[in-house]
Each structure stands twice: as structure tokens, then as C-alpha cells.
Amino acid sequence: MQVGIDKIGLFTPNKYVDMVDLAHARNQDPNKFLIGIGQSEMSVADQTQDAVSMGINATMKYIDRIDKDKVGLLVFGTESGIDQSKSASLFVKTALKLKPEVRTFEVKEACFGLTAALMIARDFVRVHPHQTAIVIGSDIARYGINTPGEVTQGAGSISMLIKTDPSILALNDGHSAYSEDINDFWRPNDSRVAMVDGKYSTQVYLDFFTKTFNDYKKEKNLATKDFDALIYHLPFTKMGLKANRIAVEDQDEKTTEKLQNSFEASKQLSRHVGNIYTASLYMSLLSLLEKGNLPAGSLVGLFSYGSGAMGEFYSGNLVPGYEKEINPVADQAMLDRRQKLTIAEYEDVFNTALKDPVDGKELTSDDAAGTWYFAGTQGHIRQYKQK
């Protein structure tokens, strides 16, 4: 029985910053951001978009094409949690009008959260083959104004339906996992922005990739040349480029070119949206599906990394007809709808969004009709509305 990804939806908020503008404002050479970091734009979430609303909007991309009564599990991965106790997934369940019998909760391990959710969903569907599962990763990457991490911010969500006989990616058995208790990136309870040791984090990410990729190949008796694409968690696209360079070291020209081309395709959305933490690897997958032109059956290797730190490598095969399940034109239109902010406007939006709204004061969204948004709190209860 094959289990895997049957639907995938991306949402990103309606504002962005151009990296050339940011470089000028921070007295940096634009090529440092464009080439050295590998980012062109970053989406910015205003006060009306949070992990919940973005997760609803990502799922809305396919909810009308699924049988909602079959959804038995809804798992939400985030490191931009909106409550210390109540799961973000319960707000989503209400907005999507899922049945009360659904099992639903939130998981956390930095950017590994959506992979954790996906693996839980895969096992759930194996045991309950007549049911399906929705998994959501949704995050706002905030490092702070004028910090080294500022250029690696972003906001967005990926939602996926997991089921038997999937239409997009059939997941293969087996995985290689590796974890260590380290402090490369974290966000303590008293901080709205992440703390990061960027250089250390990069080194650990590459070490974890090397280890899990090699372990996986050994366990499955595979060689690098057997993969048609390798995709990565992308906190910024240069990070994935560094991992991909390690992957193609000592490979023949054909394998190197194949894996370089597929990496190029997989990084395009990230380059324009920025870091969306839990959902970043799966935005790489969507980008590969939309721009990679890969034939059905292609073997895709996926490297997931969550700081703190947890790494995992696994793989899947593209299902015939997967192209029918994606909509690159609509995704491009979603990026094109974004309003470009001046740096002063971005700083204002950023600082406002860091604060909790005054309880009882309703927030309104300036996004398109149909978009779900956070409308403020009433009696300290979060309100979500559709425009």
C-alpha cells in the first residue's frame, strides 16, 4: 500500500521587502544578499496574519477538492505558536469545518515540525487506510531589525493532504534520523524574535545532512546517482546550495548537472518568499514540482532539519499525473499580488506585528476577498475571520 502526499497548498502574506532595498538600508553590498545569502525578496506578515490564519489559507487551496469526512487527523507544526496550551490546529479545524471526530494537535521541534507531522500522518494512514490526514507547517521567521538574520526572514504556510494512493509523492519506507541537544537557534518564552548562532547553525546543518544522507544511502543500498532530485530545508537558499555541493562532490558530470538543475528548480519559491521555518522544505518540494519538469517515477530525496537539533533524510517517488495537482500560475499570481514595502514601512509593520493587539479592538485585513485573517482578541480569545 502506497501512502504519501496527495494535495499541497502554499500561502504567503500580501507584503514583501526587496533585498536590494534592504541591502541599501543596511549599508551592505546587494550581492551579499542576492548571491552570498541567495535571497531576492521576503514576505512580511502584518498583524493580521499569524500561524493559524496562514495555515487555514494554505489548506483553502485544496479543501474544495477533498472529501472532508475522510479526514481523521490534523497535525499542525509550528515554532510561531499563538498559545502555550491550545493547539493552533483547533482554530484551523473550525475554520475548515472538519468533523468533530478528527484527532488534532500541534507538534514542535523547530523547522522539523512539519516533517514530524508528516511522519505521524503517514503512520496514521497506514493503520487507517480509509482515512486521510492534513498536515500543516506555518511560520513567521523573525530575527529582528538590523540583525545578521534579518535577510533570512519570511512568512508563509504549506498544507498537505496525506492519503493512500497519493497523487503527488509516494513516500518510501525507511528514513535516517539524527539528533543532538545543541543551541544553534532557539526562541525563549520571553522573546518574540529568534536567537541564532548563524555560523554554528550552518555547520551543524551540513554535518547532519552529510550523516543522514550517507546513512540513508547505506540502509537503502542507494547511490547518489540514483536520486533525480535532492531537496532541502531552506532557511536561505545558500544553505541548500552548500548541502547540494557536498552531495555532488566526487559525482560524474551527468549526476552533478542533474542534481544542480533540480536544486535550482527547488529553490525558486524560497528565494522570493524567504524562510518559512517548518514549511520551508515542503515549499522546496512545491517549487521542484512546479519548475523541475521531472518525469513521473523520479526519486526525490528530502532533507529536513530543525535546530536544537534534529535532522532526517527520507525519499519519495513522483506519481504519474502529479502535474495536475499543482497550479504554478495561481502560485505566481499569489506572489505577484504582494505589495512592495519601503524599508520604513516594513519596519513599522514588523514592530506593530510584534505587539499583541489591544483586547477587544478588532483588526481588519487589507488582503484579497476570501483570505482568512487574525481579527484580534475578544476576552483574550483569538478571533479568525474570512474577508
Q: What does the binding site for ligand COA look like in residue numbers (CB under 6 A)?
A: 29, 31-32, 35-37, 148-149, 151-152, 185, 196, 198-199, 201, 205, 235-236, 238, 305, 307
Spatial separation of the C-alpha atoms in residues 387 and 379, rounded to whole Å: 22
Helix (H) or strand (E) holding 377: strand 372-378
What is the closest distance, in whole angstroms, from the C-beta atom of residue 89 to ligand COA in the complex? 24
Q: Residue 139 in 3-state DSSP?
A: strand
Angle between helices 113-127 and 280-291 (to 10 degrees): 80
CA dihedral for 219, 260, 210, 136, sign (positive or negative): negative
| Choice between 185 and 373, CB closer to ligand COA | 185
What is the closest distance, in whole angstroms, from the C-beta atom of residue 151 to ligand COA in the complex? 6
Spatial separation of the C-alpha atoms in residues 142 and 148, rounded to whole Å: 11
CA dihedral for 17, 21, 25, 26, sign (positive or negative): positive
**CB contact set of 329 (below 8 Å; sequence gap of 6+):** none
Spatial separation of the C-alpha atoms in residues 362 and 314, rounded to whole Å: 44
**Residue 242 known to bind ligand:** yes
| Choice between 133 and 285, CB closer to ligand COA | 285
Q: Do residues 212 and 313 touch, judged by C-beta distance below 8 A?
A: yes
- In the residue annotation, 253 being an active-site residue is answered as no
What is the closest distance, in whole angstroms, from the C-beta atom of residue 227 to ligand COA in the complex? 22
Q: Catalytic residue, from 41, 106, 109, 111: name it.
A: 111
**Residue 250 known to bind ligand:** no
| Choice between 220 and 238, CB closer to ligand COA | 238
**Residue 29 known to bind ligand:** yes
- In the residue annotation, 111 being an active-site residue is answered as yes
Q: Catalytic residue, from 79, 106, 109, 290: name it.
A: 79
What is the closest distance, in whole angstroms, from the C-beta atom of residue 265 to ligand COA in the complex? 21
Spatial separation of the C-alpha atoms in residues 20 and 40, rounded to whole Å: 8
| Choice between 104 and 275, CB closer to ligand COA | 275
What is the closest distance, in whole angstroms, from the C-beta atom of residue 14 to ligand COA in the complex? 24
| Choice between 196 and 349, CB closer to ligand COA | 196
**Residue 232 known to bind ligand:** no
Q: Which residues pair with 299 in a beta bridge?
A: 317
Angle (nearest 5°) at CA 138 between 193 and 159: 170
Spatial separation of the C-alpha atoms in residues 128 and 124, rounded to whole Å: 6
- Residue list, annotated binding site: 29, 143, 242, 275
The residues annotated with a catalytic role in the active site are: 79, 111, 233
Binding residue positions for (3S)-3-hydroxy-3-methylglutaryl-CoA: 29, 143, 242, 275
